[in-house]
Structure 1
Amino acid sequence: MRTRIIGLAVWSAVLAIGLFGVPLAVAVFQYAMQVERSELQRAAVGVAIAVAGDVSDGDPIANLNMPGSVQVGVYDEDGVWLAGAGPGMERREIAQALVGGVGAGTDGGNLVVAVPVTEYNDVIGAVRATTPLSTVLQPVALVWGAMAALAAFAVAAAWLVGRRQARRLARPLEDLVVAARRLGEGDFSVRTRQGGIPEIDSVGNALNHTAGRLDDLLARERSLSADVTHQLRTPLAGLRLRLEAALEPPDQDLRSAIIASLADADRLELTIDELLALAHDERATGAGPLDLRALLGEMSPEWRERLALEGRGLDLNIDSGAPDPRASAAAVRQVLAVLLDNATTHGKGTVAVAVREATNAVAIDVSDEGRGVHEPESVLFAGRADQRNGHGIGLALARRLAEAEGGRLELACRTPPVFTLLLPSAIADLSANRPIPGVAAGDRG
């Protein structure tokens, strides 16, 4: 590509120089010839004036020496050579001069001009002046040489400019090729540099955007794997425990255990479908009002049963004045499942779920009677909290799901631990990007 760009620049310069330089060179030559003819004609006229009396009287003509390389010859009215140098009547320019005109032409390597010798407006002879063409060609050749040097300089400058432009144009394109190759090989972190050429930069920006989208998609798929693993571990463990418990008494009726296990399998399938839909943004845009009472009513039996196995309870408190949130049931179900699982696994005592109204939002508080959370929120919600002591499991997923619904998940109180899920109120007509006010620990009811 660089060679083609340089070649295009050089050939463009050569074409422009040719279209302009060749006519200019011809014009220079013609101008030099015209100037030399004028000088030669002026010299011939001077001689004609000087010898007019001698020609008229028939006296000998002497002293025809001219400066430089100019030579002159004098002829009578019949074209007979009288003095100086030159041919006879057969020359066309002499015949023209004898009829009162000015003859001009070339004779071999000489430039020739002939003028009439007159007396009282009568032509009585002619003067023929010659000079070598070399007197014209030498200065013209110098001018042509200077023009050729300038043309060569212009071509060289075009080559340098073309080389620079080729490098400027080719480097971003070569970077694009390398970036596209790396992207094709699976390196989604590749980014192209801005080259200062809008058209190429727009292609690079599109490639960067594609790489970023692919990188996000890959990270999302990896996160999905981790999220699914975490979210499915507890239901699978519960299903296994239920089946193992059903096998303990040999004579126990397995029908009830099978029915309960099928219900667990249905919930497990629902969890998988919701996680896949949430991971691929397949939920409907513009989620409508969510009936929290119905959702908590669906979820509470499972968690009451799990907590009862440990001698603990689940307390639901829904404020009658709390509006419905504008959110996806699948997302809220998964967030609450994470919070309830953490409270069940890492907390102590009764697990409480309270729904209340906040400013332009609906707040859902999930708390327990454990010893509290000590990790910084930046670590806690990044999924790196100490899983042996705290509530770090799945909170990164829960926060992402909450933010995707236009809400927020935060740690409202450390001891006892209280996590608050804030969701847009369906009656507040909040935009998806409008921030929801935070809830401090002292605001809890």
Structure 2
Amino acid sequence: MRKRIVAVSLLAAVLAITLFGVPLAVGVARYYLDDERAELERLADSVALTIAATLVRGEVPDHLPVTQESTSVALYRVDGTRQLGNGPPDLEDAVSGAAPDAVISADTPSELVLAVAVGDGSRVLGIVRAATPRAEVWQRTVVTWTGMTVLGVVAIVTTWAIARRQARRLAAPLEELTDAAHRLGSGDFTVRAARSGIDEIDSVGNSLDTTAHRLTDLLARERAFSADASHQLRTPLAGLRLQLESALDTPGADLRDSITAGLATTDRLERTIDDLLALARNSQPDGGIGPLGPLLAELEHDWHGLLAEQGRALRVDVRSDVAGFVVAAPVLRQIVTVLLDNALRHGRGAVSVAVRDAGNAVAVDVSDEGPGIEMDADPFRPRAEPTPSANGHGIGLALARRLAEAEGGRLRLAQPAPPTFTLLLPTRHA
């Protein structure tokens, strides 16, 4: 690209200099030629005026005025023979028979010639011939052309220097963009394009940065989904395993009922995966909204057996005035699932789920009878930064808080002992 910019710039400069310089060079040559002829005419007129009175008296001038070394002046008789001065012995045919006071141009291949007829108004008394070598004119012309050529070369060299600098300024950001694009294609989503101060190139850089940012966000979502899914599927899988082991340990049990229960659990696993995928990609899953009462009844059915295995009770209290409130079903399911799993693993005693009206939102309180959480502990801190909390921590609660905030709600620890988590979730229109 740099070579192209330099080549195009040089071509444009050469073309401009040629289009301007050639006519100017021709004009300079013509100007010097016309100027020399005008000078010869002035010289011939001056000599004619000087000797006119002498010729009118019928006398021959003693001498002609002194002229430049390169210019020759001669006086000729009417018959064309030289009488005085420097010049050819005979006049050119074009000059012979000139009228009084006539000015005649009679150039030869080697000289510029101008002749002036000297007379008394009615007859020609003599002819003054002035001549200068053409080489004199060409010398002036060549000197000027040489100067113009030098200036043209200087202009081309200057154009080349400026073009190289501009090529470097234009190509360097594009080369950096190319490198950034290669790195982005290789999986380095942290790459960012440097700013060059050129609007068009910076616009491309901004687009590349936006693409890198979106790919980074997408990758983060997919990685979060992998971690979240493994966490959220652990408890339903444990329930499915418990159902199957119970069927195997019970002689003569009706396997059809066990298989039916297992299929229902599998359906819930599939729905959990769909919910997590949709939430990870910021899309609305199927069955995106639903009434609060049936959703909590479903969760009570799923979790009753798991808590009963540990000899613990699950109490779900949904007041009739809030049971029909419509909320984001996947968000509610996943957050309450996290809270129940947290109570199952880190809490003690009975687990309570209470729902109340909070204006344009519903408040869901999940609590157990455990010893509680230390005052300086943060139960929402990710697993990579564990705390000595008695009531658990890690990816589950961190995920639940992210889901609540993404829906425009909030999840907080209402009280540390007995541990009570409160979810505020906006209601939807059916």
- Give the TM-score taking structure 1 as reference length: 0.86
Q: Report % sequence identity.
A: 50
User: Offset at 1:45?
Assistant: 0.6
SS at match of 2:63: coil
Q: CA deviation at 1:183?
A: 2.2
| Aligned partner letter, 1:425 | T
- Contact 2:116-2:128 at 8 Å conserved across structures: yes
Structure 2 CA distance, aligned partners of 1:97 and 1:414? 131
SS in 2 for 1:63: coil
Specify the alignment match of 2:213 in structure 1.
Answer: 212
Compared with structure 1, are the counterparts of its residues 376 and 54 closer, same or farther at alpha carbon in structure 2 (3 Å cutoff)? Answer: farther
Give 1:12 deviation, angstroms: 0.3
Structure 1 residues 5 and 333: CA distance shift in structure 2, 3 A: same
How far apart in 2 are the matches of 1:145 and 1:415? 100
Alignment of 1:3-402 (within 5 A): 3-64=3-64, 65-87=66-88, 91=92, 94-95=95-96, 98=99, 100-104=101-105, 106-120=107-121, 122-283=123-284, 290-322=290-322, 327-374=327-374, 380-386=380-386, 389=389, 390-402=392-404
Task: State the 1:107 CA deviation.
Answer: 2.8
TM-superposed CA distance for 1:40, in Å, is: 1.7
Query: 85-94 or 363-372: which moved more?
Result: 85-94
Equivalent residue for 1:426?
A: 428
Paired residues of 2:287 and 2:329 also in contact (CA < 8 A):
no
**Bigger shift: 358-367 or 229-238?**
358-367
Distance 1:97 1:326 in 2: 121
Q: Is the 8 A contact 2:411 2:421 kept in 1?
A: yes
Partner of 1:434: none
- Residues 151, 210 of structure 1: alpha-carbon distance in 2 compared, 3 angstrom cutoff: same
> Structure 1 residues 384, 359: CA separation in 2 closer, same or farther (over 3 Å shift)?
farther
Question: What do the CA deviations read for 1:261-295 (whole angstroms, capped 9, x no partner)?
Answer: 3322222222122222333344269965x311111
How far did residue 44 of structure 1 move? 0.9
Aligned pair in 2 of structure 1 residues 379, 180: CA closer, same or farther (>3 Å)? farther
SS in 2 for 1:94: coil
Counterpart-to-counterpart distance in 2, 1:318 and 1:136: 114
Amino acid at match of 1:277: A
Q: Kindly state the Cα deviation for residue 378 of structure 1 after the two structures are TM-superposed.
A: 7.5
Gap change, CA 1:63 and 1:414, over 3 Å in 2:
farther
SS in 1 for 2:311: coil
Q: Which whole-Å CA distance do the structure 1 matches of 2:242 and 2:287 have between them?
A: 40
**How much does 1:398 deviate?**
2.0
Deviation readout 1:291-334 (Å, 9 max, x if unpaired): 11111011112222222222222232334554866643122211
- CA distance 1:299–1:379, shift in 2 (3 Å): closer
CA distance in 2, matches of 1:188, 1:225: 19
- Offset at residue 376 of structure 1 (A): 7.1
Contact 2:37–2:114 (CA<8 Å) still a contact in 1?
yes
Candidates 378, 400, 403, aligned match of 2:405: 403
Contact 1:342 1:393 in 2 (8 A): no
Post-superposition CA distance 1:59-89 (Å, at most 9, x none) = 3333223134221011223323211122355
CA distance in 2, matches of 1:215, 1:339: 29
Helix, strand or coil at the partner of 1:394:
helix
**1:317 aligned counterpart, secondary structure:** strand
The one-letter code of the counterpart of 2:164 is R
Which residue pairs with 1:432 in the alignment? none
d(CA) in 2 for partners of 1:388 and 1:148?
87
Change (3 A) 1:348 1:108: same
Query: How far has the Cα of 1:58 moved from its partner?
Result: 4.0
Unaligned runs of 5+ in 1: 430-445
Report how far residue 16 of structure 1 moved.
0.6
User: For the structure 1 residues 262 and 178, does the alpha-carbon distance in structure 2 shift closer, same or farther, using more than 3 Å as the test?
Assistant: same
The one-letter amino acid of 2:21's match is: G
Cα distance in 2 for residues equivalent to 1:208 and 1:247: 57
**In 2: Cα distance, 1:96 partner to 1:366 partner:** 133
Query: What is the aligned length?
Result: 427
- Residues 239 and 426 from structure 1, CA distance in 2 versus in 1: closer, same or farther, beyond 3 angstroms? closer
- What's the CA shift for 1:128? 1.0
